[in-house]
């Protein structure tokens, strides 16, 4: 007898068909017009390969505890221990470090996407546990967006414009006449949404945009960043130079007197500073089409023509999150705001600027206005944090100075790291540097269902179950639905749910009652759902089904806002609707940043050369973009079908322009070596004219597989090559997309990287 179990992941909702404890099929969610193919990867979780099957401890750590040789991480064998023994060790370390060094010495930033379940949310439960025993050092911002929201909080008063509350796409599809897409608007990334998604809407809106004959310009090094049926004009820009294009466009508009002076006067502050820079006062270089052309590699005539059209048509600028994952990543977000202000259509339907459309499935879709289900981290006894991507800096420089959002700060001295639901050996830049930093803490605990590269490098590994082995619910601040996540199969091996693990740990730390508040799994799921349901009823007169109905049918619609025009009220009357900025207005010239005097984030949007880019490349260097993988979410389900479909020889494919391939003697399908001063990796060449000349694109997410002896990383993990510096002294975001590399054909048989990873894993598992 087949049972049907509603479930959900970050890439969408689906029904699992289960027969005698085995998943025999996956059906897409009936209300989803464009389901993701990734739903068919989910049954791979039920396979024991690469799963952590029981708690275990690294041999050297078990013998010598905090005095162990930390270079044994990832090399020494693990020893199996009972759950009780493992949790005693974990509780003992928390107590020891707290007593000897203070709770700020415990790093539990634990960044990562974990499962989309809001109840068993691993990093939230970790923080909840630690907040009950004195706190921890956490993180602010995300790898996705950091430089962007930091500059927008300062210039727009909050970061809603990059969190899905700029103009919604339904309204853009009806009103815009010119749409300039900086980066992407792609189903590849819109498949995913943090916390799950019911209906994928991006394609629906793009089809409407095509139907209305909107002029679409794609500014990107990759032609595939919009579906080909959109028939956009492709502007193959040099990576990391969009700021110059935006400034050049604004400069041309101002030079021809087409700027909306009334909007600039009423709704912005500091525009004199910005306009003077556009005119070239100070540096003697007017920001015009010729200037922008030299930097971006785009034709000046096209830039000039677009500058003429933007103020004449209803024009919308969209900027992907990717643009700010770069050195000086604050600037393209701020320069786009400056350009939109000069055009003067902010606050009009289909006009202005917005960030992150299609970066996640919910951005640009009608957005939730209710309360999304979430476990509380409880209140923080200490406020110790780092900007999320400064992890290696922190571990390598305890006590070292840095700045963030205008504040001078110091790194804490970390002794204990606890990671639950994230994979830093996937997500962080310059993994060879992280490997060194990883030898600094006395103890590292990793809680994950999978034996990731991070789990391999732990002292204590705790096996969490995957979402299909427990009950949960999905939903987030952008969701159109709250979705049930029913348990489909029994936990594998000795795996336990994240809640059970932290509940047991709280017991050992003497705080279980405050941790669980007397509720069990289903008690919590019901409670979280009811909180959202009551909120919808009381604040929006919106009736969601009762819990039983929700759980049986698997979904409940949430109240949403459609046809949204960002800053419409502010535009009407800025004094009555002030922004939370230094002036109450949109900041184009900043007194605060002028006072701070940072060289890498000045008082107005500006072109500042990144540390690495094609304008300063040596002969033979290419700009590496490491974008999101089509066939998986980050490093998750890396060996499932959709992910393997993107690999050749068990390794990731790097896209190369035919001209760049041929001068290097590289043929499609050939194994290549990518390298720079930070590291080297192998990949399989994919030769295509969809990528701009001078640019190489290697997706993220291959499981870090360093060669045994000296040699390149084998799986095609771009983060052995990427640059680990903050976006600026202000934002401190990650700079993943600022990276030059060299590429050559690789001679010899490199083996299948997936098998090599697994062989290494087998070598460190208990005998
Ligand atoms: N070069 C480069 N690097 C990048 C980026 C880039 O563009 N370029 N993008 C960055 C971005 S935007 C992001 S968001 C990060 C993503 O980085 P991460 O979020 O760290 O990546 P994931 O692979 O999603 O890691 C999630 C981990 O949670 C585990 N997990 C899944 N379900 C559960 C569960 O139920 N319980 C527990 N305990 N664990 C679970 C998975 O097995 C996996 O190990 O990567 C960043 N890194
Ligand atoms: N399938 C799948 N979907 C995902 C994810 C995943 O892992 N898999 N990850 C999710 C997460 S956590 C996030 S944060 C989002 C990220 O969403 P995005 O940041 O929007 O996605 P990316 O794929 O990193 O980049 C999109 C495109 O930006 C272009 N680009 C890069 N640098 C530049 C530049 O300097 N200028 C211009 N004009 N274009 C540039 C590249 O061509 C790239 O293909 O994706 C989410 N969606
Ligand atoms: Mo992200």
446 pLDDT higher than 90: yes
114 lines ligand 1 (CB under 6 A): yes
* 131-149 tens-digit pLDDT: 999 999 999 999 999 999 9
* CB neighbours of residue 31 within 10 Å: 12
Average pLDDT over residues 271-286: 97
Tell me if 496 sits within 8 A of 466, measured CB to CB. no
Q: Which helix (H) or strand (E) holds 556?
A: strand 555-557
Catalytic residue among 11, 45, 61, 111: 111
Q: Looking at residues 736-754, what average pLDDT do you find?
A: 94
- Residue 120 Cα: closest atom of ligand 1: 35
Which ligand 1 atom is at minimum distance from the Cα of 628? 7
State both tokens at 248.
């050049």
Average pLDDT for residues 18-24, to the nearest whole number? 97
- Where do the DSSP E strands lie in 242-383? 268-269, 315-319, 352-355, 367-368
Return d(Cα 112, Cα 422) in angstroms, integer: 4
Question: So what CATH class is 614-764?
Answer: mainly beta
The owner of tokens 């430089």 is 147
- Where does the pLDDT of residue 480 fall: very low under 50, low under 70, confident under 90, or very high at 90 and above? confident
Q: Which two tokens stand for residue 766?
A: 């208990």
Q: Does 177 have pLDDT greater than 90?
A: yes
Counting atoms of ligand 2 from 1, which one is nearest the CA of 240? 35
**Spatial CA neighbour of 51 closest among 726, 636, 756, 738:** 636
Read off the pLDDT of residues 339-391 as tens digits, 9 standing for 90 and up: 999 999 999 999 999 999 999 999 999 988 999 999 999 999 999 999 999 99
pTM comes to: 0.98
- Best of 224, 628, 645 for a ligand 2 pocket test (most atoms within 8 Å of beta carbon): 628
Contacts of 213 by beta carbon, 8 Å cutoff, 6+ apart: none
If we measure between CA atoms, which residue out of 130, 115, 29, 195 comes closest to residue 470? 115
Which residues form ligand 2's pocket by a CB distance below 6 Å? Answer: 144, 182-184, 188-189, 191-192, 219-222, 225, 237, 239-240, 242, 320-323, 326, 359-360, 625, 627-630, 633-634, 737
| Correct CATH for 147-368+564-596 of 3.40.50.620, 3.40.228.10, 1.20.900.10, 3.20.20.150 | 3.40.228.10
CA dist., res. 104 & res. 365, Å (int): 39
Place of tokens 């786009």: 336
- Kindly name the residue from 11, 113, 143, 404 that is annotated as catalytic: 113
Q: Do the Cβ atoms of 200 and 188 come closer than 8 Å?
A: no
Pick the atom of ligand 2 nearest to 220's CA: 38
* CA angle (300 as vertex; 297, 303 as ends), nearest 5: 100
Minimum CA distance residue for ligand 1 atom 31 = 114
Per-chain residues with Cβ under 5 A from ion ligand 3: 144
In the chain, how many H helices and how many E strands?
26, 32
- Let me know: does 452 contact 444? Beta carbons within 8 Å: no
Q: Is the pLDDT of residue 278 over 90?
A: yes
**Position 236 confidence tier, pLDDT thresholds 50, 70, 90:** very high
Is any atom of ligand 1 closer than 6 Å to the C-beta of 421? Answer: yes
pLDDT(673) > 90? yes
Among 141, 144, 184, 329, which is best to mutate for testing ligand 2, by the most ligand atoms less than 8 A from CB? 184
Query: pLDDT tens digits, residue range 598-628?
Result: 999 999 999 999 999 999 999 999 999 999 9
CATH class of 56-141+383-474+481-557: alpha beta
Cβ-proximal residues to 405 (8 Å cutoff; 6+ apart), any chain: 150, 153, 154, 730, 731
**Atom number, ligand 1, closest to the C-alpha of residue 450:** 42
Q: What is the pLDDT of residue 710?
A: 83
In tens, the pLDDT along 521-544 reads: 999 999 999 999 999 999 999 999
Sketch the domain layout of the chain as residue ranges: 56-141+383-474+481-557, 147-368+564-596, 614-764
Reported as a single tens digit per residue, the pLDDT across 582-592 is: 999 999 999 99
> Any residues with CB less than 8 A from the CB of 608 and at least 6 apart, and which?
243, 328, 331, 599, 600, 602
Q: How confident is the model at residue 154 (pLDDT cuts 50, 70, 90)?
A: very high
Tell me which ligand sits closest to the C-alpha of residue 321: 2
pLDDT value, residue 368: 87
Report CA(481)–ligand 2 centroid distance (Å).
24
113 is catalytic: yes
Instruction: Give the pLDDT of residue 493.
Output: 98
| 236, 322, 633, 695: residue to mutate for ligand 2 pocket, most atoms within 8 A of CB | 322
Mean pLDDT of the chain: 97
Helix (H, G, I), strand (E, B) or coil at 612: coil
DSSP strand E in 155-201: where?
Answer: 178-182
- Cα separation, 711 vs 708, in Å, equals 8
pLDDT value for 418: 98
User: Residue 665 pLDDT more than 90?
Assistant: yes
| Per-residue pLDDT at 748 exceeds 90 | no
**Element (H or E) spanning 274, and its range?**
helix 271-279
- Answer yes or no: are the C-beta atoms of 464 and 497 closer than 8 Å: yes
Q: How far is it, in rounded angstroms, from Cα 351 to Cα 176?
A: 6
> Which ligand has its closest atom nearest to the C-alpha of 426?
1
Q: Closest residue (by CA) to atom 33 of ligand 1?
A: 114
Q: Where do the H-state alpha helices sit in 520-605?
A: 521-540, 547-553, 568-572, 591-596
Give yes or no for residue 88 having a pLDDT over 90: yes
Query: What does the pLDDT read at residue 709?
Result: 81
For 679-726, how does the pLDDT look when each residue is reduced to its tens digit (9 = 90+)? Answer: 999 999 999 999 999 999 999 999 999 998 889 999 999 999 999 999
């Amino acid at each position: 007898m087949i049972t049907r179990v509603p479930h959900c992941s970050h890439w969408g909702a689906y029904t699992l068909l289960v027969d005698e404890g085995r998943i025999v099929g996956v059906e897409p969610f009936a209300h989803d017009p464009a389901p993701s193919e990734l739903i068919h990867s989910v049954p791979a979780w039920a396979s024991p390969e690469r799963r952590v099957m029981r708690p275990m401890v690294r041999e050297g750590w078990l013998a010598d505890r905090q005095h162990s040789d930390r270079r044994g991480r990832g090399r020494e064998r693990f020893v199996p221990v009972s759950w009780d023994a493992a949790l005693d060790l974990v509780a003992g370390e928390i107590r020891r470090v707290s007593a000897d060094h203070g709770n700020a010495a415990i790093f539990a930033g634990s960044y990562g996407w974990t499962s989309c379940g809001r109840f068993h949310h691993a990093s939230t439960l970790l923080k909840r546990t630690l907040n009950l025993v004195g706190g921890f050092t956490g993180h602010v911002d995300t790898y996705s967006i950091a430089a962007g929201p930091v500059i927008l909080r300062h210039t727009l008063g909050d970061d809603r414009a990059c969190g899905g509350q700029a103009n919604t796409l339904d309204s853009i599809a009806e009103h815009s006449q010119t749409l300039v897409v900086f980066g992407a608007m792609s189903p590849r990334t819109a498949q995913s949404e943090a916390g799950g998604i019911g209906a994928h809407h991006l394609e629906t809106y793009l089809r409407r945009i095509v139907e209305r004959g909107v002029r679409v310009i794609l500014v990107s090094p990759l032609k595939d960043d919009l579906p080909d049926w959109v028939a956009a004009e492709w502007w193959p820009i040099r990576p990391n130079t969009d700021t110059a294009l935006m400034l050049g466009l604004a400069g041309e508009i101002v030079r021809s007197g087409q700027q909306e002076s009334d909007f600039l006067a009423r709704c912005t502050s500091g525009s004199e500073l910005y306009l003077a820079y556009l005119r070239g006062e100070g540096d003697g270089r007017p920001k015009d089409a010729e200037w922008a052309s030299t930097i971006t590699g785009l034709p000046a005539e096209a830039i000039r023509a677009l500058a003429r059209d933007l103020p004449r048509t209803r024009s919308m600028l969209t900027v992907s999150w990717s643009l700010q994952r770069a050195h000086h990543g604050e600037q393209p977000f701020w320069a786009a705001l400056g350009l939109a202000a000069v055009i003067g259509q902010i606050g009009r339907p289909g006009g202005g600027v917005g960030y992150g459309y299609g970066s996640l499935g919910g951005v640009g879709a009608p957005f939730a206005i209710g309360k999304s289900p979430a476990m509380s981290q409880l209140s923080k006894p200490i406020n110790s944090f780092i900007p999320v991507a400064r992890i290696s800096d922190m571990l390598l420089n305890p006590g070292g100075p840095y700045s963030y959002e205008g504040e001078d700060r110091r790194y804490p001295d970390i002794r204990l790291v606890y990671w639950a639901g994230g994979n830093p050996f996937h997500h962080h830049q310059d993994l060879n540097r992280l490997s060194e930093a990883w030898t600094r803490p006395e103890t590292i605990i990793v809680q994950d269902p999978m034996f990731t590269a991070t789990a391999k490098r732990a002292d204590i590994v705790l096996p969490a179950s995957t979402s299909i082995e427990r009950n949960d619910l999905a939903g987030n601040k952008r969701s159109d639905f709250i979705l049930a996540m029913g348990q489909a199969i029994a936990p594998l091996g000795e795996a336990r749910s994240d809640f059970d693990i932290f509940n047991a740990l709280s017991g050992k730390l003497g705080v279980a009652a405050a941790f669980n508040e007397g509720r069990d799994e289903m008690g919590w799921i019901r409670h979280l759902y009811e909180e959202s349901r009551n909120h919808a009823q009381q604040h929006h007169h919106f009736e969601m089904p009762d819990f039983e109905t929700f759980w049986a049918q698997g979904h409940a619609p949430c109240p949403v806002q459609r046809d949204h025009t960002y800053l419409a009220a502010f535009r009407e009357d800025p004094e009555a609707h002030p922004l939370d900025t230094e002036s109450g207005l949109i900041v184009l010239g900043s007194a605060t940043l002028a006072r701070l005097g940072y060289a890498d984030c000045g008082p107005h949007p500006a072109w500042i050369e990144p540390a690495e880019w094609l304008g300063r490349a040596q002969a033979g260097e290419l700009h590496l973009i490491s974008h999101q993988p089509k066939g998986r979410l980050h490093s998750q389900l890396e060996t499932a079908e959709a992910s393997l479909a993107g690999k050749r020889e068990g390794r990731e494919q790097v896209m190369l322009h035919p001209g760049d391939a041929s001068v290097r003697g590289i043929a499609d399908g050939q194994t290549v070596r990518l390298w720079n001063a930070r590291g080297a990796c192998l990949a399989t060449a994919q030769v295509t004219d969809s990528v701009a000349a001078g640019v190489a694109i290697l997706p993220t997410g291959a499981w870090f597989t360093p060669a045994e002896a000296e040699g390149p990383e084998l799986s095609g993990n771009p983060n052995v090559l990427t640059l680990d510096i903050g976006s600026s002294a202000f934002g401190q975001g990650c700079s993943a997309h600022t990276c030059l590399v060299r590429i050559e054909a690789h001679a010899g048989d490199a083996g299948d990287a997936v098998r090599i990873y697994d062989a290494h894993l087998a070598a460190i598992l208990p005998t």
